[in-house]
Amino acid sequence: MRSVSELMEAGLVYVAFQPLIDLAERTTFGYESLARSGSTDYRNPLHLLKAAKEHSVLGELGRELRRLSVDGCPDYPLFLNIHPDEFDEGWLVRPDDPLSQHDKGIFLEITESVPLSHYRFCHSVLKEIRGKGIKIAVDDLGAGYSNLKYIADLEPEVVKLDRELVAGLTTGSRLFELVKSIVALCRVQGAKVVAEGIETASELRAVLATGAHYGQGYYFARPSREPTNEDWTRWFDRL
C-alpha cells in the first residue's frame, strides 16, 4: 500500500467540485471541493484523511488539497473541508498558503460533530484566518446530535444543513417546520443556509419553502473533476 506522501508525489490525490446553487437567482454561487484519491487503497476520502493523520502528514495533505482547489476553480467562491486537527498545526496561517491566493471568497467548513471546546481552543487560529478574509461555514448541522451553540459561538457566515434534515422533506411536515425554524434562527444570527443532499424535485420544492439561501446535491450535479456550471433554470422548471 502506498503512503499518502507517495500518492501526493505521484499526483494521485485530486479534488472533485460540486456546485452550490443560489436558490433565488438560480445561478452557481460557488463550489465545494472534495478530496479524492486515484489509488484503490483509498477509495473512501475518510480513509485517506485517517492515513494522513496516522502518518503525521495531515497538514501537507490539507495544503495540497487547497492548492488543487484554488488552481482548479479560480473564478468562484470555494467551500473547503478542513480536518479539525489542522487547526493544531501551522499550515493554515502560513503567508504562502493557497488560501491567500484565491480572491473570490473562501469558506472553511467546520464539522458540527467535533466538540465545540476544540474550536474554542483554536480560537486564535480562527481569528487569524478570519482576519485574512476567510469565512466559516458550520457543516453537517443536523447529523446526529446537534449543538445549536455552534451558530452563536462561532458566528459562521454560512450554515450547511445535513442531508438528514433534507431527505424526504415535504412542506407541512413536522420536519419541514423544524428546518424552517432553523433557517429563521440562522437568519437572525446573520448566517446564510445551504441545504445539502437535495436529490429530488420534491425535496427542492420543500427547501425553497423553508427560505434556505443555497442548495447542493445530486439533483443539480454530482461532484466532478471540473467545475460544472449550468443554466440551472430548467432544474427549477421541473417543479
For 62-76, 82-96, 167-181, 220-234, which range has the lowest pLDDT when averaged over its residues? 82-96
State which fold the 4-237 domain adopts. TIM Barrel (3.20.20)
| C-beta separation of 86 from 58 below 8 A | yes
User: How would you classify the pairing of strands 13-22 and 27-37?
Assistant: antiparallel
Q: Which of 87-96, 143-152, 157-166 has the highest mean pLDDT?
A: 157-166
Residue 17's pLDDT band, with cuts at 50, 70 and 90, is very high
pLDDT in tens, 102-154: 999 999 999 877 888 888 888 888 899 999 999 999 998 887 656 788 888 89
Directed axis angle between helix 174-188 and helix 201-210, to 10°? Answer: 50
Question: Which residues in 200-209 are b (16+ Cβ under 10 Å) and which e?
Answer: eeebbebbbb
Q: Whole-model pTM?
A: 0.94
Tens digits of per-residue pLDDT, 34-62? 999 988 888 888 899 999 899 999 999 99
What are the domain boundaries of the chain? 4-237
Question: Is 65:13 a contact under the CB 8 Å cutoff?
Answer: yes
Beta bridge partners of 79: 32, 107
